[in-house]
């Protein structure tokens, strides 16, 4: 199907009238929002009105979306092809691919990691091959896809964002190590002046100033734990959010469980702020820790703490204050997983920090996992792990014996990091115990006072200093397990039937409970009238949650839409045309005044189904 690059005014006007008539017909006070966007809704509901499918499953063929109002085009990262797919969105109910941006002419063998758009200027983050080499950021014209310029940035440029005035592009250079951990580039943030797109200039904010401060930062709660890595090597910028005045940026250091606070004008990281831990032993912070009982067993677990480790973050303002919204996905370092030499005991060939609780606290030690999934760095510390009975007595732990804590229907299946929670001396070295649970310099056991899981299974709001002002607690898992939650485009599938399901398989009730639950990953915000809403994508369970975050200390969940239709076919790729959207990765809010049909929209890139969904906001006044 061919379509003109620019739609006619008549076609757009007709589409807007049809959309308006459909909304009015719904009744119940639901009307199309005014074009000026100044009226404040009392409610919001998501509705899927269109989408585009690459026809590719499980290969990240639709990840990060961005939208240009002038050309009415959507730009979607297709990681499988290493490019950006360009969609005509002039009729939101029928997006059509009209082109693509391929970056191999800039760097041979390169792939695209992220895209951002501002007033017709498209910025693309380009990863080199190998990924440990410096990447590029390229600028294109949205209306004809012409390459304007490109500049060199740091290793593995990932997420990028324009400042509100469109004069600067910030890019998070993640600097991940090679899979065998032989090369570990420094992470950094590039600040690109694009006032003259044909002649952009680059400054780089590095983390080198924090080298030598690792002990102090660790004491503050910042995770610096890569083998032999300096702070600058260990920090891996994941996502950037900019203040409304364009002066400050907050950078999520996901694996480090921290924010970096950046002075944009100075191109300088001012502070590293640890985000702390979530106490899953407290009421309101419950979680489901097991994937074997095939039910939602959401309860408190004293001694278990969650590391927030946000992926996507976004900013908004209330009065003169800026707040940061985070999707607390969690992410383990896992390099060398496919390297047999690493699992055979060669610690120089990788680094994997994830381990199951049941293997960590086996009273016979963890030697039985050697050659299978035992990280050699862990094995070098001791021969086994113990649970502190004063903390874990509730599930039967006594000196030298984990009791029922190790059972599959208790904590046994939970994946945690072995790098934290064990008792150390003032120098950071492990304090050893014997197999009977007594402190013993000649012993060979670690004593775990706490167990640290990945992610908060939540959404948080933080102030400018990086202090948490609100967290959704256990709300997401409890909602997914409730009678209130309904999935499917028609909202007729009980979510609890597929609670914490996996996005790549069918009939996977409870599958992700031992990992990171529903995995909130993507987040974007949109302001309508005097209200601000956060849209949160749940990577594993799927779907998008909507929160009214106007009051940062008391957000309210407003809606949830999960358009997955087929939850039982073992291999969803065989029913891709009817399966629905799987694995939301990136989200982009389109306000009414920029929207092709005059209604606020939300674009969602779904990496597993390879689909871009167009959701419309139905507003109640």
Residue 561: asked if its preceding bond is cis (omega within 30°), the reply is: no
pLDDT score at 16: 41
Position of tokens 């009817």?
A: 578
For residue 588, is it within any domain?
Answer: yes
Q: Which of 453, 484, 517 delimits the end of a domain?
A: 453
State the burial class of residue 5 (Cβ atoms within 10 Å of its Cβ: 0-12, 13-18, 19+): middle
pLDDT score at 37: 58
State the burial class of residue 465 (Cβ atoms within 10 Å of its Cβ: 0-12, 13-18, 19+): exposed
pLDDT score at 8: 35
DSSP E strand boundaries for 64-146: 65-68, 73-78, 83-88, 96-102, 111-118, 121-127, 134-141
Q: Is the pLDDT of residue 565 over 50?
A: yes
For residue 4, is it within any domain?
Answer: no
Same domain, 449 and 580: no
Q: Which of 416, 431, 453 delimits the end of a domain?
A: 453
Residue 78, classed as helix, strand or coil, is: strand
Mean pLDDT value across the chain: 94
Cα–Cα dist 528/363, whole Å = 57
pLDDT score at 113: 97
**Chain segment 378-397, per-residue pLDDT in tens:** 999 999 999 999 999 999 99
Q: Is the pLDDT of residue 6 over 80?
A: no
Token digits for 366?
């963890």
Distance of CA 24 to the CA centre of its chain: 36
**Chain segment 239-257, per-residue pLDDT in tens:** 999 999 999 999 999 999 9
The percent of residues above 90 in pLDDT, for the chain, comes to: 93
pLDDT score at 32: 45
Same domain, 534 and 583: yes
Same domain, 325 and 358: no
Domain range for 543:
9-275+310-331+455-620
DSSP code at position 443: -
> How open is the CA angle 487-489-490, to the nearest 5 degrees?
85
**Lowest mean pLDDT, pick from 7-16, 76-85, 552-561:** 7-16
Cα–Cα dist 548/526, whole Å = 10
For residue 583, is it within any domain?
Answer: yes
Q: How many CB atoms lie within 10 A of CB 71?
A: 22
For residue 183, is it within any domain?
Answer: yes
Residue 130: asked if its preceding bond is cis (omega within 30°), the reply is: yes
Cα–Cα dist 527/316, whole Å = 9
Same domain, 124 and 208: yes
Token digits for 584?
């939301």
Same domain, 152 and 216: yes
Same domain, 477 and 609: yes
Cβ contact 405:397 at 8 Å: yes
Cβ contact 501:511 at 8 Å: yes
| CA dihedral of 108, 112, 117, 123, whole degrees rounded to 10 | -30
For residue 303, is it within any domain?
Answer: no
Same domain, 38 and 136: yes
Q: Which of 432, 453, 474 delimits the end of a domain?
A: 453
Q: Is the pLDDT of residue 15 over 50?
A: no
Same domain, 107 and 145: yes
Same domain, 552 and 577: yes
**Chain segment 458-502, per-residue pLDDT in tens:** 999 999 999 999 999 999 999 999 999 999 999 999 999 999 999
Residue 521, classed as helix, strand or coil, is: strand
Residue 49, classed as helix, strand or coil, is: strand
pLDDT score at 614: 98
For residue 1, is it within any domain?
Answer: no
Same domain, 418 and 469: no
Tell me what the mean pLDDT of segment 129-140 comes to.
Answer: 98
**Chain segment 499-532, per-residue pLDDT in tens:** 999 999 999 999 999 999 999 999 999 999 999 9
Q: Is the pLDDT of residue 29 over 70?
A: no
CATH code for the domain of 603? 2.130.10.10
pLDDT confidence bin for 38, thresholds 50/70/90: confident
Q: How many CB atoms lie within 10 A of CB 550?
A: 17
Same domain, 425 and 512: no
Q: How many CB atoms lie within 10 A of CB 269?
A: 22
Number of domains making up the chain: 2
Same domain, 109 and 201: yes
Q: Is the pLDDT of residue 104 over 80?
A: yes
**Chain segment 529-556, per-residue pLDDT in tens:** 999 999 999 999 999 999 999 999 999 9
Tell me what the mean pLDDT of segment 272-280 comes to.
Answer: 98
For residue 305, is it within any domain?
Answer: no
Q: Is the pLDDT of residue 23 over 50?
A: no
For residue 178, is it within any domain?
Answer: yes
Token digits for 275?
């985000």
């Amino acid at each position: 199907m061919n379509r003109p690059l620019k739609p006619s005014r008549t076609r757009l006007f007709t589409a807007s009238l049809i959309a308006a008539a459909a909304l009015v017909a719904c009744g119940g006070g639901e009307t199309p929002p005014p074009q000026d966007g100044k009226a404040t809704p009392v409610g919001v509901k998501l509705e899927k009105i269109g989408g585009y499918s690459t026809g590719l499953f499980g290969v990240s063929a639709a990840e990060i979306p961005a939208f240009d109002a002038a050309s009415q085009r959507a730009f979607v990262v297709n990681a499988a092809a290493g490019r950006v797919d360009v969609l005509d969105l002039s009729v939101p109910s029928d997006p059509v691919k009209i082109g693509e941006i391929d970056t191999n002419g800039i760097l041979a063998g390169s792939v695209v990691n992220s895209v951002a758009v501002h007033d017709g200027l498209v910025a693309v983050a380009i990863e080199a091959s190998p990924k440990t080499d410096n990447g590029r950021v390229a600028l294109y014209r949205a209306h004809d896809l012409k390459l304007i310029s490109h500049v060199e940035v740091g290793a593995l440029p990932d997420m990028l964002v324009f400042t509100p005035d469109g004069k600067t592009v910030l890019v998070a250079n993640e600097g991940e190590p090679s899979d065998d951990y032989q090369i570990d580039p420094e992470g950094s943030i590039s600040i690109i002046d694009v006032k003259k797109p044909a002649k952009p200039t680059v400054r780089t904010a590095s983390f080198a100033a924090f080298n030598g401060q690792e002990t102090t930062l660790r004491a503050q709660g910042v995770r610096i734990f890569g083998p032999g890595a300096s702070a600058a090597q260990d920090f891996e910028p994941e996502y950037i959010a900019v203040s409304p005045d364009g002066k400050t940026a907050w950078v999520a250091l996901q694996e480090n469980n921290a924010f970096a606070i950046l002075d944009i004008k100075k191109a300088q990281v001012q502070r590293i702020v640890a985000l702390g831990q979530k106490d899953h032993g407290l009421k309101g912070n419950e979680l489901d820790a097991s994937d074997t009982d095939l039910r939602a067993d959401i309860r408190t677990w004293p001694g278990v703490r969650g590391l927030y480790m946000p992926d996507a973050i976004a900013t908004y303002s209330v009065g003169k204050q800026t707040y940061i919204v985070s999707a607390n996905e969690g992410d383990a370092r896992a390099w060398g997983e496919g390297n047999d030499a690493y699992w055979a005991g060669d610690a120089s060939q990788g680094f994997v920090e994830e381990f199951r609780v049941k293997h960590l606290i086996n009273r016979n030690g963890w030697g039985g996992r050697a050659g299978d999934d035992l990280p050699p760095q862990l094995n070098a510390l001791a021969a086994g792990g113990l649970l502190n009975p004063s903390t874990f007595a509730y599930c039967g732990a006594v000196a030298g014996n984990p009791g029922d804590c190790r059972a599959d229907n208790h904590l046994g299946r939970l994946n945690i990091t072995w790098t934290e929670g064990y008792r150390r001396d003032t120098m950071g070295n492990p304090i050893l115990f014997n197999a009977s649970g007594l402190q013993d310099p000649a012993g060979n056991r670690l004593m775990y006072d706490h167990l640290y899981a990945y992610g908060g299974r939540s959404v948080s709001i933080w102030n400018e200093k990086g202090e948490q002002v609100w967290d959704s607690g256990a709300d997401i898992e409890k909602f997914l397990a409730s009678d209130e939650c309904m999935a499917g485009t028609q909202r007729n599938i009980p979510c609890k039937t597929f609670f914490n399901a996996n996005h790549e398989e069918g009939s996977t009730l409870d599958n992700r409970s031992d990992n990171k639950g529903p995995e909130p990953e993507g987040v974007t915000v949109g302001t309508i009238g005097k209200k601000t809403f956060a849209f949160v994508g749940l990577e594993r369970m799927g779907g998008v949650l909507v929160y009214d975050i106007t009051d940062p200390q008391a957000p309210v969940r407003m809606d949830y839409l999960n358009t997955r239709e087929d939850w039982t076919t073992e291999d969803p790729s065989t029913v891709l045309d009817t399966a629905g959207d799987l694995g939301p990765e990136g989200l982009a809010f389109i306000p009414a005044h920029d929207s092709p049909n005059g209604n606020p929209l939300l674009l969602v890139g779904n990496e597993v189904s390879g689909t871009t969904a167009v959701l419309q906001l139905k507003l109640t006044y």
